[in-house]
Amino acid sequence: MNSHSDSTFCSNRSISLSGMFILDSFKYEEDYCATQKPSLDPGEWYIGGGGTYATIGARMWLPPDRIAMIVHKGSDFPSKTSDELESYSSSLFTFISDPEHPKTTRALNTYSNDRRDFAYLTPKRQVQLSEIYSAKSAPPAFVHLICSPVRMSIILEERRKLFSDWSPQWIWEPVPESCKPENLSKLIECVGQIAVFSPNELEASELLGNPNPPCSAQEIQAIGDWFHQAGFRAVVIRSGKRGSYVVGAHGTDPVQRFWVPPMIGDQSQVVDQTGAGNSFLGGLMAGLACGKGLLEATCYGSVSAGLTITQLGLPKITARHDAKPASELWNGGDHRRNSSIWFGQESRSSARDKPRLDIAYRDRSKLFMHKQNNECRKNK
């Protein structure tokens, strides 16, 4: 797939995804109550891994030559999996082998009504910083990391010692099992070097010592504000069907506080939530790499997540040849046009007359934040 007309929307800054590629299996507990439980083939392995979903979330907005993801390809790597990955572009993934890890990383995802549990079935092979640095002809300007506070500290120190001339913007997604209050001090040590810190609502709550997810938008806002006041420049709390709460700033922008609604408001359309948060952050990082502000970049993330949860597995890409220039469709639709309509800002015939999308996003966000705050007052 090499139709890259969307590259005109973006700067030349590249991004890298450090999360792993994983072959996933799934189990759903009896209390899992999604409207549509995915139909899974027994014994089948599915493309997974946070890095993979983040990569595809970014690929919706960036051409493949601006994205780098390392895929550890074990001796048991299925040929049909290679074919599926290459459908997103042969240059999107960098395949490597490692004699110390002869098998592809595999895992089990277990879903219940209120949480997802994850367990490795094989030894994991993590992506190394040197591999991220050298994956493309130039090191990336943005890096998405899925790791614990301890590993984050190690990566930051390794960058300082080995690649002192490289200062990427780090988009940090903490791994769920590391979100414990005993790791909070190590996490806070990293605040000054992180561009965006993004736990989901449960992970953020657990870091502060509460094992239960927040029950209102007001609680989520308080948690996000706490992490921002602790020193993170920008905090994005991913909150599933509530959307995402953002506090902070990117670059020289002033500090903002806003909610961005989920693209999929009708929960009956949700088929599989696997990878939604990763895809969200891939889209958000792509927006930042395109030179967008934090608000519009978050909306990119919401679109990427929305396109991820409406089918089993990764969103599908196809070429649209009836448009000039040729463009790309995701899940059969024009995601750029649809996202503009979603925010009430359908394209006009003249580029000169076209309103700035970030203004539409800001107006929509203000309305959504007002709705969330009204919910808080009703629940008091």
pLDDT digits (tens, 9 = 90+) for 74-93: 999 999 999 999 999 989 99
Residue 167 predicted with pLDDT over 90: yes
Residue 135 predicted with pLDDT over 60: yes
User: How high is the pLDDT of residue 224?
Assistant: 98
The pLDDT > 70 percentage for the chain reads 80
**362: confidence class by pLDDT, cuts 50, 70, 90:** low
User: How high is the pLDDT of residue 355?
Assistant: 34
- The total number of residues shown for the chain amounts to 380
User: How high is the pLDDT of residue 38?
Assistant: 63
Mean pLDDT of 216-235: 97
Per the CB < 8 A criterion, the answer to whether 198 and 281 are in contact is yes
Tell me which residue of 9, 18, 69 sits closest to 328, measured CA to CA. 9
User: How high is the pLDDT of residue 352?
Assistant: 36
User: How high is the pLDDT of residue 294?
Assistant: 93
Mean pLDDT of 189-203: 97
Phi-psi region of 223 (alpha: psi -120 to 50; beta: other; left: phi over 0): alpha
Mean pLDDT check: name the lowest of 44-58, 78-92, 135-149, 326-340.
326-340
CATH, range 10-313+353-379: 3.40.1190.20
Mean pLDDT of 324-331: 75
The answer for residues whose C-beta is within 8 angstroms of residue 53's C-beta and 6 or more apart is 274, 275, 276, 278, 279, 282, 308, 314
Phi-psi region of 333 (alpha: psi -120 to 50; beta: other; left: phi over 0): beta
Mean pLDDT check: name the lowest of 22-31, 54-63, 91-100, 366-375.
366-375
Residue 373 predicted with pLDDT over 80: no
Domain boundaries, the chain: 10-313+353-379
Tell me which of 255 and 320 has the higher pLDDT: 255
User: How high is the pLDDT of residue 29?
Assistant: 77
User: How high is the pLDDT of residue 333?
Assistant: 84
Tell me which of 122 and 13 has the higher pLDDT: 122
Q: What is the pLDDT of residues 97-116, one digit of tens each?
A: 999 999 999 998 887 766 77
User: How high is the pLDDT of residue 332?
Assistant: 86
In the chain, how long is the greatest CA-to-CA distance?
59
User: How high is the pLDDT of residue 334?
Assistant: 83
**CA–CA dist 190, 55 (Å, integer):** 24
Mean pLDDT of 351-378: 50
